[in-house]
Amino acid sequence: MLNRLGYWLRETFASLRRNLTLTVAAVLTAAVSLLLLGVALLARQGVGNQLVQWKGGVQFIVFMKADASEDQIQSVRTALAESPQVDDGKTVYLDKPAAYQEFQRIFRDQKTIAESLTVNDIPPNFKVVPMTDDSDIIQAVGNQLLTKPGVIEVRFARDYVDRLQALSRMVGVVSIAMFVVLLFTAVVLIWNTIRTAMFARRREIEVMKLVGATNWFIRIPFMLEGLLHGLAGGLLAVAGLYGVNFLWKERVIPKIPDLAALQVSSSQFNLVVVLVLVVGMLVGAVGSAVAASRFLDV
Amino acid sequence: MIKLDNVTKVYSTEVVAVRDASFDIPKSEFVFLVGPSGSGKSTLLRLLNKQEQPERGTIWVAGRSINDLAASKVPYLRRNIGNIFQDYKLLPNKTAFENVAFALEVIGRPKHVIRQQVPAVLELVGLAGKQDRFPHQLSGGEQQRVSIARAFVNRPLILLADEPTGNLDPQTSEGIMRLLDRINKTGTTVVMATHDQRIVNMMRRRVIQLDRGTIVRDQARGVYE
């Protein structure tokens, strides 16, 4: 078994060296394709994180002053409860500890922000689910509450969630479409590399078949070659993702505080990394296995 | 060891390569397949190691019908059949040793077996001391000896030879035939396609003659004609 493994690895790397230009082309195409997949996935995660506050049909959030009195909070609560436009059952009040928890969740990756505020600095808030979709009515209800004492801000979903979701959808659709096209190109290139590799070794393959090597034995070095193409492409894509993520977190976000939560946690990032690598290896191995089977038996 | 029963192989609707061929070759026999080019000799050999499929008839090798042998089992059939060719089919970038070792390596034989068997078989074919030469550093006869060593190193039951002396001068050819004769005497069945009249007449073994795909003569201790 060790003997065979040695044979397969030797043959795989010899073949990679022989086909350097095609190999580079296949790997780079796979890398760009997988990078796009990764960016699309990260963008989706990031937007999801940014929108944590807005889950469950919340259309606007009424932020109280951090030092608002119980009476002021009670008065807003009563106003919401009495308003026929507000779905009282779904509207949620986050008191200071609850709001602080949410704040910690949103900024769990930015310790400086997360630790800069204490429970007492956090504004308690009402997440309001209206009865209607009519944005004019929602706007009117929200603005009415803005006049109440103790209310510091009313933030509407319409301005924010809609735009962000539209942007995220666009980024997603465009990058997934490009991912698919480039992935196809990568598969074609891997396919071609394997065909060239098999053609270069047609004499060896003929001899192997005549002396009774099994098809799997003949095929494995080529499959390993394709798998390595995919893996190399995946690793380059991961390096690119680290770069993109770093630039976004360190260069872009500090300039646009409103997007502070539009980023991914390290566990989400790692998940995307694993996914990109797995997709890369799978595409490489399956593509080359199909090519190897085809050109072996014809 | 080898038995054909009314075997027909058609390449296209007009070209019948082998027509209704039947014969029985017992173990350790030496058989010449003779006939002009295109008479079906090579096709017959290719049918025996399942490089070709017959349209009709049954082929038995080592007591088993190979007609319905699953594709995954074909490699194991071929491990029992050595092949040698007119053009040797050696790998140019491998030494004599490596060419023979390759045949063992790709069927998963362990290294210590390879290290032991390859020099032994190279000595048997008369190439002791030349094992590190590349094919282009060897004469035609020596290259054919390497190819015989590769075919025989796995001790096959059957050796199929397709015009093995076709590229060699008469003297070298005789040396190759002596070698094949020795291998035959170890119990290996040898089937050799040839139109080397001199060789056939010299050896006086069983001769199966083909003409446009049909067996026209099957004679013990025969001559070329």
Q: How far is residue A213's CA from residue B72's CA, in Å, rounded to a whole number?
A: 10
Q: How far is residue A6's CA from residue B108's CA, in Å, rounded to a whole number?
A: 11
Provide the b/e sequence for B157-177 (b: ≥16 CB within 10 Å). bbbbbbbbbebbeeebbbbbb
Q: Look up residue B176 and give its two tokens.
A: 């190759």
CB contact under 8 A, B108 and A4: yes
CB contact under 8 A, B105 and A207: no
CB contact under 8 A, B75 and A210: no
Q: Look up the ipTM and state it.
A: 0.90
On chain A, the residues whose CB falls within 8 A of the CB of B108 are 3-4, 217
**Number of other CB atoms surrounding residue B155 within 10 Å:** 14
- Assess B108–A contact: CB distance below 8 Å, yes or no: yes
Q: How far is residue A5's CA from residue B105's CA, in Å, rounded to a whole number?
A: 11
CA distance B192 to chain A (A): 17
On chain B, the residues whose CB falls within 8 A of the CB of A206 are 89
B88-123 pLDDT, tens digit each: 999 998 999 999 999 999 898 999 999 999 999 999
Mean pLDDT of A23-32: 89
- Assess B129–A contact: CB distance below 8 Å, yes or no: no
Determine contact, residues A68/A80, Cβ cutoff 8 Å: no
Q: Is A244 exposed, middle or buried (0-12, 13-18, 19+ CB in 10 A)?
A: middle
Q: Look up residue A175 and give its two tokens.
A: 């990058």
Q: Look up residue A177 and give its two tokens.
A: 């479409």
CA distance B89 to chain A (A): 7
Q: How far is residue B205's CA from residue B225's CA, in Å, rounded to a whole number?
A: 13
On chain B, the residues whose CB falls within 8 A of the CB of A217 are 106-108
Nearest to A203 among B91, B111, B150 (CB): B91
Compute the mean pLDDT over every residue in chain A, rounded to the nearest whole number: 83
3-state secondary structure of B217: strand
Of the candidate ranges A29-43, A111-125, A278-292, the one whose mean pLDDT is the lowest:
A111-125
Strand ranges (DSSP E) for chain B? 2-10, 16-25, 30-34, 56-61, 64-65, 81-85, 158-162, 189-193, 206-211, 214-219
CB contact under 8 A, A215 and B75: yes
CA distance B82 to chain A (A): 7
pLDDT of residue B121: 96
Nearest CA in chain B to A206: B89
Determine contact, residues A141/A86, Cβ cutoff 8 Å: yes
3-state secondary structure of B105: helix
Q: Which helix (H) or strand (E) holds A128?
A: strand A125-128
- Assess B89–A contact: CB distance below 8 Å, yes or no: yes
To probe the interface with B, which of A9, A11, A207, A297 has the most B CB atoms within 10 Å?
A207
Q: Which helix (H) or strand (E) holds A155?
A: strand A151-156
On chain B, the residues whose CB falls within 8 A of the CB of A214 are 72, 75
Output the CA torsion sign for B167, B168, B174, B180. negative
Nearest CA in chain B to A204: B91
CA distance A230 to chain B (A): 26
Q: How far is residue B93's CA from residue B86's CA, in Å, rounded to a whole number?
A: 19
Of the candidate ranges A35-44, A275-284, B82-91, the one whose mean pLDDT is the lowest:
A35-44
Whole-structure pTM value? 0.72
Sort strands B206-211 and B30-34 into parallel, antiparallel or unpaired: parallel
**Which amino acid does the sequence have at B44?**
L
B172-214 pLDDT, tens digit each: 999 999 999 999 999 999 999 998 999 999 999 999 999 999 9
Mean pLDDT of A209-221: 90
pLDDT tops 50 at residue A159: yes
3-state secondary structure of A266: helix
Nearest CA in chain A to B78: A212
pLDDT of residue B129: 92
pLDDT of residue A104: 80
Q: Look up residue B163 and give its two tokens.
A: 């015009």
- Assess B103–A contact: CB distance below 8 Å, yes or no: yes
B15-72 pLDDT, tens digit each: 788 999 999 999 999 999 999 988 999 999 999 999 999 999 999 999 899 998 998 8
B121-166 pLDDT, tens digit each: 999 999 999 999 999 999 999 999 999 999 999 999 999 999 999 9
CA distance B122 to chain A (A): 17
- Assess B189–A contact: CB distance below 8 Å, yes or no: no
pLDDT of residue B80: 94
Percent of chain A with pLDDT over 70: 94
Determine contact, residues B220/B45, Cβ cutoff 8 Å: no
CA distance B71 to chain A (A): 9
Q: At what angle do helices A215-247 and A163-200 cross, to 10 degrees?
A: 150
If you count residue pairs, one on A and one on B, with CB atoms under 8 Å apart, how many are there?
Answer: 53
CB contact under 8 A, B107 and A206: no
Confidence band of A176 (pLDDT split at 50, 70, 90): confident
A95-152 pLDDT, tens digit each: 888 888 888 877 776 677 777 788 888 888 888 777 776 777 777 787 877 788 888 8
pLDDT tops 50 at residue A77: yes
Q: What are phi and psi of B82, to 5 degrees?
A: -90, 150
Smallest CA-to-CA distance from B180 within B195, B201, B168, B165 is with B165
Q: How far is residue A23's CA from residue A200's CA, in Å, rounded to a whole number?
A: 14
**Number of other CB atoms surrounding residue A95 within 10 Å:** 13
pLDDT of residue B38: 86
**Number of other CB atoms surrounding residue B202 within 10 Å:** 15
pLDDT tops 90 at residue A168: no
Determine contact, residues B163/B194, Cβ cutoff 8 Å: yes
Q: How far is residue B185's CA from residue A228's CA, in Å, rounded to a whole number?
A: 49
CA distance B12 to chain A (A): 17
CB contact under 8 A, B89 and A203: yes
Confidence band of A178 (pLDDT split at 50, 70, 90): confident
To probe the interface with B, which of A8, A15, A204, A210 has the most B CB atoms within 10 Å?
A210
- Assess B15–A contact: CB distance below 8 Å, yes or no: no
Determine contact, residues B20/B214, Cβ cutoff 8 Å: yes
**Number of other CB atoms surrounding residue B107 within 10 Å:** 19
pLDDT of residue B194: 94
3-state secondary structure of B84: strand
pLDDT tops 80 at residue A58: no
Q: How far is residue A224's CA from residue A199's CA, in Å, rounded to a whole number?
A: 17
pLDDT tops 70 at residue A239: yes
pLDDT of residue A298: 44
Q: What are phi and psi of B49, to 5 degrees?
A: -105, 20
CA distance A196 to chain B (A): 18
Q: How far is residue B88's CA from residue B90's CA, in Å, rounded to a whole number?
A: 6
